[in-house]
Amino acid sequence: MTNNWHSDTIKRFKELDNAALLFIREDAYLAAKAGETIDNPKTGQYWDEFHYASQELRRRGVTAIQTKRGLDHA
């Protein structure tokens, strides 16, 4: 690890399978949306995780927008 959360997260996401990335993407999205309603200081980190998971899925050619809970925001 490089002690840079952003670089470390991007590197870690490259090692995860698609199912894990889809879960992280959805979970981070829901956490970020909820965090915005209560001014959670970690909201930005949740958005970063959402975007990094989306970026890795896109790099792999996984373009599915919906997940098992029906999230349709990409």
Per-residue pLDDT, averaged over 8-21, amounts to 96
Q: Which domain holds residue 55?
A: 5-59
**Residue 72 resides in a domain:** no
Q: What percent of the chain has pLDDT over 70?
A: 82
DSSP H helical ranges for 1-74: 5-14, 18-37, 43-59
Residue 53 belongs to a domain: yes
Q: Mean pLDDT score of the chain, rounded to an integer? A: 88
Domain membership flag for residue 65: no
How many residues are given for the chain?
74
In a domain, 73, yes or no: no
Residue 64 in any domain: the answer is: no
Number of domains in the chain: 1
* pTM of the predicted model as reported, rounded to 2 decimal places: 0.81
**pLDDT the model gives residue 53:** 97
- Is 37 part of a structural domain of the chain? yes
17, two tokens: 């399978």
Q: CB under 8 Å to 25, separation ≥6 — which residues? A: 49, 50, 53, 54, 57, 67
